[in-house]
Amino acid sequence: MRVLFVVPPLAGHVNPTVAVGAELAARGHEVAWTGPAEVLTGLLPARARVLPAGERAGEGYGRLHERWRDLRGVGALRFLWEEALVPLARAMLPGVLDAVREFRPDLVVADQQALAGPIAARRAGVPWVTSASTSAEFTRPFAGFPKVGAWVAERITALLAECGAGTDWDPRFSERLVLVFSTPELIGPEADFPAACAFVGPAFGARPPVPAGFPWRALDPARQRLLVSLGTLNGAAGGRFYEAVLAAVAPLADRVQVILAAPPGLVGPVPEHVLLQERVPQLELLPHLDAVLCHGGHNTVCEALAYGLPLVVAPIRDDQPVVAEQVAAAGAGIRVRFGRPRPPELRAALTAVLDSPAHRRAARRIQASFAAAGGAAAAADRLEKHPS
């Protein structure tokens, strides 16, 4: 079988496909990726086959992020669709069509935010399935904002009409198969699951190498260890938040070691119980931790829970508030504010997840659900059943 992954130039959306692609290749299938190649080559294994699509869009994502970084709520969501996802689909579509013609896939696996994938697949008559790298779409994200939900639907319909693809379908959800890299134990029983959903849990694959030199010997076995990370795209926006975190953990210095993944220039000098690193080998580090404080990125949350680690989640924008609510509702962590954070609030939340058996039990319940779901192997099993 020949499988073409269509992905946006975003690490969190590419990472699950790396693991699934490796599993398929190990079973003898041919795999390739299409998207902005200049970005994808830095996110994929060295020998991965990349067919370029939407190069200008990939380069422009950095500039878009500078404008998007300070937006919140509905403003951030409108910007995501109007300035990023719809223009990305337009930019990628010619290259994705070329990739389909060149690679001749038996199956297209399209990320939910790479709308050019389903459009190209339908135009070429190739079966397609959805890669849902975040579960936010399954929790009625627009329930409290019906006008926003209607506006998003209008943007999608207009794009489909512009591309001559018909307007009676939703490119975010394949009727054939939707691979959800999570489980109902985290998403929640009230979610709106399409019938085609397959919950495979997180899929972890090889990541681009982190610069050597992480000080493993500096990890203190006598203290509880906490990772603080705002992800690859949000670090530069975290100056005030980092300051509040340092104030929050100062009274805990005798019992908690903080591994802070942040730009050193934004943080400045740190006390001895804080290990400051611009980048960390996150997957390798997680087994050595007791808890995680993060922004609610779906990948970071699922990676932490896959190791049974409770969380404090400070969501910033987009799907992060939804993911934060999933964590809190499941009992696996506590949601706090990102804007105007107060050290006492942060300290209380951190102390609770580090010391409360209830949060750890909930995290381990989700960990067990992830393991049972099967990850990349289960995703590959599902794809093998849907080539035609």
Contact 256, 223 (CB under 8 A): yes
Per-residue pLDDT band for 208 (boundaries 50, 70, 90) equals: low
For helices 239-249 and 343-355, angle between their N-to-C axes, nearest 10 degrees: 60
Instruction: Give φ, ψ of 274 to 5 degrees.
Output: -115, 120
Q: Is residue 387 one of the residues assigned to a domain?
A: no
- In this structure, the answer to whether residues 238 and 364 fall within a common structural domain is yes
Q: Is residue 258 one of the residues assigned to a domain?
A: yes
What per-residue confidence (pLDDT) applies to 156?
93
Q: Is residue 388 one of the residues assigned to a domain?
A: no
- In this structure, the answer to whether residues 279 and 223 fall within a common structural domain is yes
Q: Is residue 229 one of the residues assigned to a domain?
A: yes
> Per-residue pLDDT tens for 132-164?
988 777 766 555 556 777 888 899 999 999 999
Count other Cβ atoms within 10 Å, centred on residue 374.
17
- In this structure, the answer to whether residues 228 and 353 fall within a common structural domain is yes
Is the pLDDT at 206 greater than 70, yes or no? no
Q: Is residue 331 one of the residues assigned to a domain?
A: yes
Query: Largest alpha-carbon pair distance within the chain?
Result: 63
Triad 173, 175, 178: Cα angle to 5°? 55
- In this structure, the answer to whether residues 169 and 271 fall within a common structural domain is no
Would you list the DSSP string of 222-237? TSEEEEEE-HHHHGGG
Q: Is residue 384 one of the residues assigned to a domain?
A: no
Q: Residue 54 maps to which CATH number?
A: 3.40.50.2000
How many domains does the structure of the chain reveal?
2
Structure tokens at 204: 């972890």
Contact partners, residue 369, CB within 8 Å, separation at least 6: 183, 184, 185, 186, 201
- In this structure, the answer to whether residues 143 and 234 fall within a common structural domain is no
What per-residue confidence (pLDDT) applies to 112?
93
| Cα–Cα distance for residue pair 119/299, rounded to 1 Å | 26
Domain that holds residue 113: 2-176
